[in-house]
Amino acid sequence: MTTSTKPASTRISAARGSELRCRGWRQESLLRLLENNLENAERQEDLVVYASFAKAARDWDSYHKIVHALKNLQESQTLIIQSGKPIGIFNTHKMAPLVLMANGNIVGRWATPENFYELQDKGLTIWGGLTAADWQYIGSQGVIQGTYEILAQVAREHFKGSLKGKFVLTAGMGGMGGAQPLAGKLAGAVILVVEVDRARIEKRVAAGYCELIADDLDHALALVEEAQKKGIARSISVVGNAAEIYPELLKRGVIPDVVTDQTSAHDTLYGYVPVGLTIAETEAMRKSNPTEVRKRALESIAVEVQAMLEFKKKGSVVFDNGNNIRSQAAECGVTNAFDIDIFTARYLRPLFCKGIGPFRWIALTGEPNDIQYIDQLVLEHFPENELAANWIKLAGEHIKFEALPARICWMGHGERTKLALLVNDAVRDKKLSGPIAFTRDHLDGAAMTHPRIGTEGMLDGSDAISDWPLLNALLNTASAADLVAIHSGGGGYAGYMTSAGATITADGTDEAAQRLSTALTADTGLGVLRFADANYSEAQEAAKEHKLGL
């Protein structure tokens, strides 16, 4: 397949300011979000945004065509994108989505890792991750509040409300895992993060997400002990392989209070680095002997999960943080891998039942003061939402912006719509420097089916029913969102997940107000109904309160 390439000397960054390259702010918004994904990318040269191979576009030829299409797209047209490749532009109408996309979707029986890799190598598909291919990634901040809220719930449930002096052990500091050290510190813990790639650690230290790099495990444990004795929260990292360090800690009799993991265990070819191989050796073997890499990665994952299970036996609070590590270990013969809880069902599901989830907004002109203004709107207009108020205060003090200034804040049904309309009014009244894009993570009430993450252990047994994210995407399309996407898993996630994403831009117009009102209300409303339908009493009460459903 012939593709154009990006010149080595050129680095893509999101445009700033008020000058338009497109025919309107809706199109310019999506173009800037695409550029923002790449500005935040792990490997921009490969279009990989995070998680080792989640891509923003299929190839550079597709990227350039998408950019050209967005620059020339009329407001009454819709661009169709198939797994990162632009296919066509159709005349629709002014309230229709500007972009509709589907990424990584493979028919069930064919959705295996082997088939996915073959189709990817042929240039026919990509894995879009959750927010990579639909241009909704905002850097490590995108998952940091979710990680923080999990740890806060762990504190409430297991440690009388506080992680002060508690030792949290985890691993992985990539595009998602990189949020862990700061989230742990904000939750009051002493957190040690194991990462095989020193460059990733250094990136997180430079971004303010991690404080210290330990020279080795002895040094790391000394730093942990020092912080515990002083009663201070601290984030510490150490270069190493979790499949070696977790068992070594057990051997030494070091039992953390909390244990989890967010390595790239979702993929055993491009993600997880096997024990005994350097990063360079792993990359070389991926080309020369991919079957051996997958085998050795699975074996290493099995060792790590066995260690996690042993930590649990010895009293640690242990949970899977959503990277599919238990499923991989089970495939390698760890029959009790699912004795480890999944974070969603264990700690976050009560929030989803109320339509509360990872809501996000991005300042499209690049002006940090816009985010600070919206922070104040949240504090002023949602004082009863203690979760949001607490987080906005923490984020304002501790979160450094990556690329375009952005914020994540877990907000519920009705709240998202109210805030977005307040922001749209502020754009209209020029209280903000320019338009604001609203989006969310795919791990939201109605937006994901993943029987090993978001929908594990549903009360009614509907873990694997993937109608919900499909309905979510259809409803967001009918509700006039600016971009709507349907994703399914690829690689190690093949056959495990279907999800949906949406983006709506507040540009100060009456039409934007209508889009924000219809799409955001429908999006969260369906999330409440998804859990009400599954017999969760909290969701049924929320549905009754908001007059949702039949």
Residue with tokens 């979510």: 472
- Of 183, 170, 182, 186, the closest CA to residue 260 belongs to 170
The total number of residues shown for the chain amounts to: 550
DSSP 485-499: EEEE--GGGTTT-EE
Q: Among all residues, which ones are annotated catalytic?
A: 409
How far apart are the C-alpha atoms of 63 and 91, rounded to whole Å?
22
Any bridge partners for residue 483, and if so which? 99, 503
Residue 319 exposure: Cα atoms within 13 Å on the Cβ side = 21
How far apart are the C-alpha atoms of 81 and 419, rounded to whole Å?
30
Beta-sheet strands, E only, within 302-377: 317-320, 341-342, 357-363
Beta-sheet strands, E only, within 397-476: 406-411, 436-440, 448-449
3-state secondary structure 111-128: CCHHHHHHHHHCCCCCEC
For residue 298, what are the contacts with CB-CB under 8 A and spacing of at least 6?
A: 268, 328, 329, 331, 332
Any bridge partners for residue 320, and if so which? 342
Pairing of β 167-171 and β 258-259: parallel
Residue 71 exposure: Cα atoms within 13 Å on the Cβ side = 10
Token pair listed for 189 = 């813990």
Q: Is 129 left (phi over 0), alpha (psi -120 to 50) or beta?
A: left
> Which CA distances in Å does 207 have to 148, 171, 362, 405?
17, 18, 18, 13
Residue 199 exposure: Cα atoms within 13 Å on the Cβ side = 5
- Number of DSSP helices (H) and strands (E) in the chain, helices first: 19, 18
Q: Hey, how many other C-beta atoms are within 10 angstroms of the C-beta on 190?
A: 28
For residue 196, what are the contacts with CB-CB under 8 A and spacing of at least 6?
A: 239, 240, 241, 242, 263, 273, 279
For residue 231, what are the contacts with CB-CB under 8 A and spacing of at least 6?
A: 164, 165
Any bridge partners for residue 439, and if so which? 360
DSSP 186-249: HTT-EEEEEES-HHHHHHHHHTTS--EEESSHHHHHHHHHHHHHHT--EEEEEES-HHHHHHHH
Token pair listed for 447 = 């937006």
